[in-house]
């Protein structure tokens, strides 16, 4: 009922339950029908007066009012004047106090950021307030390789295991964070110092991983000792983990493409400030791009040629393109704004809306389950008070797998959305604001 319920005092919980029992709660009904909203499925035409039918955690119908049969006993939620939109997917985020490698070496594949994530940190609440329902949490770019990323559904849980997405074999889903350019050249112990040395160190580690893989495959009486770092790189070589690669300058982008060709790994290029300079080469390589939109560009010299037209130039060449926040670089609460900025600089409405939803889901290998309002997918969606491209539009509610995890009408949730005393610290917030 209330996303912040677990932080209330016992007396406040009883009061909330009493109020809820009078007014009803769509989360308590197994079948909910959201009617009258302008529905934007993203992968299908928009529906001006639509119906979204949700049973449990799954979307069971999407269509025009009058054409979708509403089951008897379903909880009907009238959304006339509102917009229904898929939950936002951020392909590059640092919320949850995420940390990766230390200063001991520039390449640390065995590190899992999953072991560092605080899912009760207020940054996750703010991400939900911004409509983000799935995120790729990763460590920073001060290493050539700073560890394994974690794909999280922003469910309302208390442990990272409750939020972590899993592969079909049960392992935690995620990729590998790599970087080149200024940050990784000078960022950690034993840092390479030059761009040429950076690439040399990466090649050296991937060659070791190839040898480790081949020795295990060969069998025999003398198998290599288990090596967690090499295991992670073998996952990359075998396509089980995608490389999420921080890169800005055009020459650094080309270096990543060169390494991809040499070792055959799957890669998503992140940031790519100068993608517009080498857009043809990016398209020819077949890689995807996760880009950032800043309304106040700047910060470091290698990003000085960042252009808002990046999205439009990549779209022209058919490159799969998503947006990200890089939170705290961009506040997660304003992620939807990226789509509007992209359209303003030449990207089509359709591709801009895909870039905050289905495109990111594809890059994280989760498009089968989320990223659009499609029958059979998880009920990850937003209720907006206006068109998603409008600067005046606000996220009213965020739903993850059919459960409401943010409600602007909830005073506790509004605190995460708008700030104020206690907004950055749960103890302060629970003492001042959650049960007025």
Burial 386-421 (b: 16+ CB within 10 A, else e): eebbeeebbbbbbbbbbbbbbbbebebbbbbbeeee
Strand order in the sheet with 145-148: 145-148, 176-179, 243-247, 267-271, 288-291, 321-323
How is 56-97 classified by DSSP, letter by letter?
A: TTEEEEEEETTTSPPPTTPEEEE-TT-EEEEPEEEEEE-TTT
- Token pair recorded at residue 262: 């040499």
Query: By C-alpha distance, which of 271, 263, 268 is closest to 303?
Result: 271
- Residue 49: per-residue pLDDT: 95
Question: At residue 291, what are phi and psi to the nearest 5 degrees?
Answer: -115, 165
- Residue 297: per-residue pLDDT: 61
What domains lie within the chain, and their CATH numbers?
A: 5-87+378-432 (2.30.40.10), 88-363 (3.20.20.140)
Q: β-pairing, 31-39 with 47-55?
A: antiparallel
Q: CA 173, CA 263: separation in Å to the nearest integer?
A: 22
Q: CA 232, CA 238: separation in Å to the nearest integer?
A: 10
Query: By C-alpha distance, which of 51, 137, 55 is closest to 89?
Result: 137
Residue the block writes with tokens 């089509």 = 348
Question: At residue 282, what are phi and psi to the nearest 5 degrees?
Answer: -60, -45
- Token pair recorded at residue 328: 């705290």
Q: CA 104, CA 111: separation in Å to the nearest integer?
A: 12
3-state helix, strand, coil in the chain (%, to 5): 35, 20, 45
Residue the block writes with tokens 């690669």 = 245
Q: Measured between alpha carbons, how far apart are the two ends of the chain, in Å?
A: 16
Contacts 24+ apart (CB under 8 A), 377-380: 377/58, 377/59, 378/57, 378/58, 378/59, 378/402, 379/54, 379/57, 379/58, 379/59, 380/86, 380/87, 380/133, 380/134, 380/153
- Residue 156: per-residue pLDDT: 94
CA 259 to chain centre: 25
Kindly give the parts of the chain with pLDDT less than 50: 1-24, 435-436
- How would you class 346 by CB atoms within 10 Å of its CB: exposed for 0-12, middle for 13-18, buried for 19 or more? middle
Interior CA angle at 320 toward 317 and 175, to 5°?
Answer: 140
- Residue 419: per-residue pLDDT: 87
Count of CA atoms in the C-beta half-sphere (13 A) of 12: 16
Q: CA 230, CA 356: separation in Å to the nearest integer?
A: 33
Query: By C-alpha distance, which of 167, 170, 205 is closest to 366?
Result: 167
- Residue 15: per-residue pLDDT: 40
Burial 126-135 (b: 16+ CB within 10 A, else e): bbbbbbbbbb
Query: What does each C-alpha distance from 282 to 30, 116, 176, 217, 319 come to in angstroms?
Result: 46, 33, 20, 33, 8
Segment 363-419, tens digit of pLDDT: 999 999 999 999 999 999 999 999 999 999 999 999 999 999 999 999 989 999 998
Contact status, residue 31 vs residue 73, Cβ threshold 8 Å: yes
Segment 256-305, tens digit of pLDDT: 999 999 999 999 999 999 999 999 999 999 999 999 998 666 678 888 88
């Amino acid at each position: 009922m209330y996303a912040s319920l677990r932080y209330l005092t016992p007396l406040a919980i009883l009061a909330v339950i009493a109020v809820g029992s009078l007014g009803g709660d769509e989360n308590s009904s197994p079948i909910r029908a959201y009617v009258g909203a302008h529905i934007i499925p993203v992968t299908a035409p928009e529906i001006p007066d639509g119906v979204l039918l949700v049973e449990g955690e799954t979307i069971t119908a999407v269509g025009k009012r009058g054409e979708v049969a509403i089951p008897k006993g379903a909880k009907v939620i009238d959304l006339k004047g509102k917009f229904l939109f898929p939950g936002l997917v951020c392909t590059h985020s640092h919320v949850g106090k995420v940390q990766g490698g230390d200063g001991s070496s520039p390449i640390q594949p065995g590190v899992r950021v999953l072991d560092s994530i605080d899912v009760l940190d207020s940054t996750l609440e703010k991400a939900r307030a911004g409509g983000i329902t799935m995120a790729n949490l990763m460590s920073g770019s001060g290493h050539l390789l700073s560890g394994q990323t974690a794909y999280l559904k922003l469910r309302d849980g208390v442990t990272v295991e409750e939020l972590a997405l899993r592969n079909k074999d049960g392992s935690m889903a995620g990729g590998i964070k790599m970087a080149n350019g200024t940050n990784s050249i000078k960022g950690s112990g034993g840092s390479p110092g030059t761009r040429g040395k950076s690439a040399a160190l990466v090649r050296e580690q991937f060659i070791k991983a190839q040898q480790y893989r081949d020795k295990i495959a060969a069998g025999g009486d003398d198998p290599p000792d288990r090596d967690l770092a090499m295991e992670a790189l073998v996952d990359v070589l075998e396509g089980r983990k995608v490389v999420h690669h921080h890169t800005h300058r055009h020459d650094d982008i080309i270096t990543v493409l060169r390494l991809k060709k040499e070792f055959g790994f799957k890669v998503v290029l992140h940031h790519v400030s100068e993608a517009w300079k080498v857009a043809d080469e990016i398209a020819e390589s077949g890689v995807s791009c996760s880009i950032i939109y800043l309304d106040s560009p700047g910060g470091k010299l290698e990003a000085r040629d960042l252009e808002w037209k990046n999205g439009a130039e990549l779209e022209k060449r058919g490159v799969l393109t998503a947006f990200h926040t890089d939170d705290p670089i961009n506040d997660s609460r304003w992620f939807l704004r990226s789509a509007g900025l992209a359209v303003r600089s030449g990207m089509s409405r359709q591709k801009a809306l895909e870039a905050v939803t289905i495109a990111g889901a594809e890059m994280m290998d989760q498009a089968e389950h989320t990223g659009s309002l499609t029958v059979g997918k998880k009920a990850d969606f937003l209720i907006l008070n206006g068109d998603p491209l409008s600067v005046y539009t606000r996220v009213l509610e965020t739903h993850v797998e059919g459960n409401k995890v943010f409600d602007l009408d909830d005073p506790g949730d509004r605190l995460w959305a708008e700030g104020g005393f206690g907004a950055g610290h749960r103890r302060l917030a629970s003492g001042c604001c959650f049960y007025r």
